[in-house]
Chain A
Amino acid sequence: MATVDGMAAIRETFFQECAEQLTEVEAGLAAMDEGTADAETINAVFRAVHSIKGGAGAFQLDRLVRFAHAFETVLDLLRGGKIALSETLLKTMFHSNDALADLVAASRGGGEVDERRMDALTDELLSVGGGPAADPAKPSAADQMDGLDFQPITLSFDEFGLGGATPDPRAIAYSITFTPRAELYQKGNETARLLRRLGQLGEMTAHCDASALPPIDKLDPGGAYLSWRIELTCDEGPAAIEEVFDFVVDDCELTIVSRQEDAPRSEDEVRVVSPDSPLAEAPRSDVAANSPEPAPNRSAAIDAARPAAEKPAGDHGKSEPASGATIRVDLDRVDRLINLVGELVINQAMLSQKMMEAGVARTSGIDTVLGALEQLTREIQEGVMATRAQPVKPLFQRMARIVRELAEETKKSVRLRTDGETTEVDRTVIERLADPLTHMIRNAVDHGLETREARLAAGKPEQGEVRLSAAHRSGRIVIEVSDDGGGINRAKVRAKAVEKDLIQADAQLSDGDLDNLLFLPGFSTNSTVSSISGRGVGMDVVKRSVQALGGRISIASRPGLGSTFCMSLPLTLAVLDGMVVSVADETFVVPLTAIVETLRPKKSDVHGLGVESRVIADRGGFAPLIDVGRELGCRADPADPLAGVALVVETEISARCALLVDAIHDQRQVVIKSLEANYRNVPGIAAATILGDGRVALILDVDTIVANCSRGAFASAQVLAAAS
């Protein structure tokens, strides 16, 4: 019997599969929306919903089964060409998929769904599906479900009469004649099994009529020549007997005559089960024509089907390679492996370094072996990291829902176009990308796109477009969100920034600088915080979360044509390209993504404004110079800028600033070790890593360091800028 554990695991599989199928539905609906409503697209959507229904039935998730069934009914009509695809229908189906997702989530977590919305949607589906239209006399959608040709889900055995049938206390005698045709045997059924099963119902005698049997030299081994006359006495109704012959009823001639022993013979009930199907009329001699065809036919069919199999997986969002060459692995195991490979990389680096220090490497050809080991280690690391990579597709499809809901809320007509959905990224990055991306999408629909009226007035199509794309570019993933809206209203941005005291009224700012003001903390051009993209966070939060992922975000806008937000992120959070620096005899790693350039300060470039704040000349302006050693408490006295190196970094505040360190040692990939998980959160420190020589180095959190360094530094920079 199925174990409880086994079923729990399958339940988990079911929900994972639901997620894939919901993605499939979303993809299919999106394709239909784009005008691709071919049979395979519709069929794929139908299959996905059907699978959800099937699995839900197994776990007795009745609410989910009912809704999936209503949805499936509509899809079935659509694929049968009985109803036409309209914009209204498409909208209903999009909503249905959202509702289905909610129901799945509720079934999984035991949470609540909006029953009224669900009922309304079920009614909508039912009215499309030609079921009883919404009738106020009928209280709920659930009641109306009864009108459908749908077998309610039960786990009883009634289907096969295995103990579910009501026994008739009085024994009934049956006379049965049964003449199998050759097809019965060809389909894998056997008379002997049927008779044995029949015999289990009660007292039985069976007579075989072999009169049709030809002489042995004329006998076709695949033919059917025998017929049977059976007398059965049992307390089952005729249904139980029909049930025995259920599988073979098309492939035999069968009559069942029943009479209750104490009833007069005239009331004999004759049941002729075999339908007058074309098969029933087929002459027996047809057997030869039905004989098996040679095997090559089969392989030809496989070959014909193969091109479809080789279609790129991304096309219809197939969730699983058809070859079945996949295994499922517990995420914990993958994480552990990734961690171990991280250690391996560190140890390999340590080994190389020790060998070099010991001087053995060069002399004995060990360097060649070490080189090979390093290469191998890196390849193993990349291979293992790839196992945790996932396509961004599910994430993108969540965005589709957000766009849809937002479009309705804002009364705008919006089309979301996605590109590069099969691009793969480490799942840890994907997880943390959802929030910033959601906000950017909201922003694009809410602020980026104009109202219908404004678009029409500007000579644009009524329907606005938001584009979401992902691509790999030089070892990073680049995600772009663009809209064809009005672009950033720079005059408004400028006015707002001045009003909020973020810039001087007469500050000379380029278009790019103005656009970047959007990323300033608390900046919002909308005088009333909209309930949609407001939610208390601004683009500054987006920028910070992107930076926390080791990413950068930039903005490009053209008045009247729209804006593009571009995020560039590392493919994984497990390793980081860093610059190894030293500060007051301590070794630190600065994420390379944060560094714009490095400078060796000259005396003429550094200006002091009091002891606490210094600035450095940078690109015709001045950037605050932050003494990392003092900021982190490594030393008490200010460092000599002329003896050190300045790392110019980009921060959440659009101005650049420079970190003063003592020296730069190396630029290398480091394995990130969480400090919070092993110690505790330390301001100014993002994580730790282990260097090749075995020493622990802390990875700087550039944003926090710059944010902690007083605003005064920036004020100084501005004062100097104004003065020069």
Chain B
Amino acid sequence: MTQPTILTVDDSRTMRDMLRLALADAGYRVVQAVDGVHGLEVLSSERPNVIITDINMPRLDGFGFIAQVRTDSRFLGVPILVLTTESSADKKSLARRAGATGWIVKPFDSMKLVDVVRRVTA
């Protein structure tokens, strides 16, 4: 089986690095984007198995990004996880409505992160 690919979209280098570290350790191939617009660009040449995106980003935020991704038939069933610092029902509902599969509450540790990823893939 080929190594599953995860696209991470986050404007914070710290977050991108943390995601990469945890996911690469768990055996995933990680591709990165710095905001929603960049994420869409990356998707023109990548077919990730899972997408993890931040919400607050310049140019195109996470909600807008997910909405765009969901209009593309190639990514209809691809799990999209939203990174959020808030665990409020409000934010979760917003993420769900935008088409997210689930969410990861920051801060996360690598076990928790990988567990959520497995939850939508395994």
A157 near B: Cβ within 8 Å? yes
Partner of B72, one of A1, A9, A295: A295
Look across to chain A and name the residue whose beta carbon is closest to the beta carbon of B37.
Answer: A305
Is the pair A2, B38 in contact by a Cβ cutoff of 8 Å?
A: no
Give the Cβ gap from A282 to chain B, nearest Cβ, in Å.
12
Is the pair A2, B85 in contact by a Cβ cutoff of 8 Å?
A: no
Chief secondary structure at chain A's binding surface: helix
Give the Cβ gap from B12 to chain A, nearest Cβ, in Å.
5
Give the Cβ gap from B18 to chain A, nearest Cβ, in Å.
6
A131 near B: Cβ within 8 Å? no
Chain A 128-145, CB within 8 Å of chain B: the 1/0 string? 000000000000000000
Hey, which chain B residues are within 8 Å of A295, CB to CB? 72-74
Inter-chain CA distance A47–B54, complex, in Å, is: 11
Is the pair A188, B112 in contact by a Cβ cutoff of 8 Å?
A: no
A159 near B: Cβ within 8 Å? yes
Partner of B34, one of A10, A57, A322: A322
Interface range, B side: 35 or more
Is the pair B14, A14 in contact by a Cβ cutoff of 8 Å?
A: yes
Is the pair A9, B22 in contact by a Cβ cutoff of 8 Å?
A: no
Is the pair B56, A50 in contact by a Cβ cutoff of 8 Å?
A: yes
A456 near B: Cβ within 8 Å? no
Chief secondary structure at chain B's binding surface: mixed
Hey, which chain B residues are within 8 Å of A323, CB to CB? 34, 38
Is the pair A47, B73 in contact by a Cβ cutoff of 8 Å?
A: no
CB within 8 Å for A247 and B102 given contacts A2-B110, A292-B71, A295-B73? yes
Give the Cβ gap from B106 to chain A, nearest Cβ, in Å.
5
Could you tell me which residues of chain B, from 68 to 89, have a CB within 8 Å of some CB in chain A? Answer: 68, 70-74, 76-80, 85-88
Is the pair A301, B96 in contact by a Cβ cutoff of 8 Å?
A: no
Chain A 268-289, CB within 8 Å of chain B: the 1/0 string? 0000000000010000000000
Give the Cβ gap from A45 to chain B, nearest Cβ, in Å.
11
Look across to chain B and name the residue whose beta carbon is closest to the beta carbon of A279.
Answer: B97
Partner of A320, one of B34, B37, B85, B97: B34
Inter-chain CA distance A581–B40, complex, in Å, is: 61
Partner of B73, one of A51, A247, A292: A292
Partner of B37, one of A2, A55, A162, A322: A322
CB within 8 Å for A309 and B59 given contacts A160-B115, A189-B79, A193-B122? yes
Partner of A47, one of B17, B57, B101: B57
Give the Cβ gap from A409 to chain B, nearest Cβ, in Å.
35
Is the pair B56, A186 in contact by a Cβ cutoff of 8 Å?
A: no
Partner of B93, one of A2, A162, A185, A250: A250
Chain B 1-43, CB within 8 Å of chain A: the 1/0 string? 0000000000111110110011001000000111111101100
Look across to chain A and name the residue whose beta carbon is closest to the beta carbon of B84.
Answer: A54
Is the pair B112, A13 in contact by a Cβ cutoff of 8 Å?
A: no
Give the Cβ gap from B51 to chain A, nearest Cβ, in Å.
9
Is the pair A187, B59 in contact by a Cβ cutoff of 8 Å?
A: no
Give the Cβ gap from A529 to chain B, nearest Cβ, in Å.
44
Hey, which chain B residues are within 8 Å of A6, CB to CB? 21
B46 near A: Cβ within 8 Å? no
CB within 8 Å for A53 and B13 given contacts A162-B115, A305-B60? no
A306 near B: Cβ within 8 Å? yes
Look across to chain A and name the residue whose beta carbon is closest to the beta carbon of B88.
Answer: A149
Chain A 292-309, CB within 8 Å of chain B: the 1/0 string? 111101100110011011
Is the pair A151, B105 in contact by a Cβ cutoff of 8 Å?
A: yes
Is the pair B59, A322 in contact by a Cβ cutoff of 8 Å?
A: yes
Is the pair B71, A188 in contact by a Cβ cutoff of 8 Å?
A: no
Is the pair A250, B97 in contact by a Cβ cutoff of 8 Å?
A: yes
Hey, which chain A residues are within 8 Å of B116, CB to CB? 160
CB within 8 Å for A10 and B17 given contacts A308-B59, A318-B58? yes
A44 near B: Cβ within 8 Å? yes
Is the pair B37, A17 in contact by a Cβ cutoff of 8 Å?
A: no
Is the pair A189, B18 in contact by a Cβ cutoff of 8 Å?
A: no
Inter-chain CA distance A294–B71, complex, in Å, is: 7
Is the pair B56, A46 in contact by a Cβ cutoff of 8 Å?
A: yes
Hey, which chain B residues are within 8 Å of A9, CB to CB? 17
Hey, which chain A residues are within 8 Å of B76, CB to CB? 186, 292
Hey, which chain B residues are within 8 Å of A187, CB to CB? 70, 79-80, 96, 99-101
Is the pair B22, A2 in contact by a Cβ cutoff of 8 Å?
A: yes
| Interface residues on chain A, number (Cβ under 8 Å) | 61
Look across to chain A and name the residue whose beta carbon is closest to the beta carbon of B57.
Answer: A47
In this complex, which of B12, B92, B103 has the most chain A Cβ atoms within 10 angstroms of its Cβ?
B12
Inter-chain CA distance A459–B15, complex, in Å, is: 53
Give the Cβ gap from B103 to chain A, nearest Cβ, in Å.
8
Look across to chain A and name the residue whose beta carbon is closest to the beta carbon of B12.
Answer: A51
Hey, which chain B residues are within 8 Å of A26, CB to CB? none
Chain A 156-179, CB within 8 Å of chain B: the 1/0 string? 010110100000000000000000
Partner of B111, one of A13, A157, A193, A298: A157
Hey, which chain B residues are within 8 Å of A43, CB to CB? 56
A340 near B: Cβ within 8 Å? no
A246 near B: Cβ within 8 Å? yes
A610 near B: Cβ within 8 Å? no
Partner of A193, one of B37, B56, B120: B120
Inter-chain CA distance A162–B88, complex, in Å, is: 19
Is the pair B115, A10 in contact by a Cβ cutoff of 8 Å?
A: no
Inter-chain CA distance A6–B102, complex, in Å, is: 27
A532 near B: Cβ within 8 Å? no
CB within 8 Å for A188 and B11 given contacts A151-B86, A151-B87, A305-B59? no
Give the Cβ gap from A56 to chain B, nearest Cβ, in Å.
9
Hey, which chain B residues are within 8 Å of A306, CB to CB? 37
Inter-chain CA distance A13–B16, complex, in Å, is: 10
Is the pair B71, A322 in contact by a Cβ cutoff of 8 Å?
A: no
Hey, which chain B residues are within 8 Å of A292, CB to CB? 70-73, 76
Inter-chain CA distance A9–B21, complex, in Å, is: 10
Inter-chain CA distance A1–B92, complex, in Å, is: 28
Inter-chain CA distance A189–B73, complex, in Å, is: 16
A197 near B: Cβ within 8 Å? yes
Is the pair A55, B21 in contact by a Cβ cutoff of 8 Å?
A: no
Is the pair B12, A55 in contact by a Cβ cutoff of 8 Å?
A: yes
Is the pair B11, A247 in contact by a Cβ cutoff of 8 Å?
A: no
A251 near B: Cβ within 8 Å? yes
A324 near B: Cβ within 8 Å? yes
Hey, which chain A residues are within 8 Å of B105, CB to CB? 151, 159
CB within 8 Å for A301 and B40 given contacts A51-B11, A246-B102, A320-B13? yes
Having A58-B107, A160-B112, A162-B115, one finds 7 other A-B pairs with CB under 8 Å, namely A10-B18, A188-B101, A197-B119, A250-B93, A250-B97, A294-B73, A302-B40
A residues near B, CB below 8 A? 1-3, 6-7, 9-10, 13-14, 16-17, 43-44, 46-47, 50-51, 53-55, 57-58, 149, 151, 153, 155, 157, 159-160, 162, 185-189, 193, 196-197, 246-247, 249-251, 279, 292-295, 297-298, 301-302, 305-306, 308-309, 318, 320, 322-324
28 sample A-B contacts, Cβ–Cβ < 8 Å, listed by A number: A1-B110, A2-B22, A9-B17, A10-B14, A17-B12, A47-B11, A51-B15, A51-B56, A54-B107, A55-B15, A58-B18, A149-B88, A151-B85, A151-B105, A157-B111, A159-B105, A159-B112, A186-B70, A186-B76, A186-B77, A189-B101, A279-B97, A298-B40, A305-B59, A308-B37, A322-B35, A322-B37, A324-B34
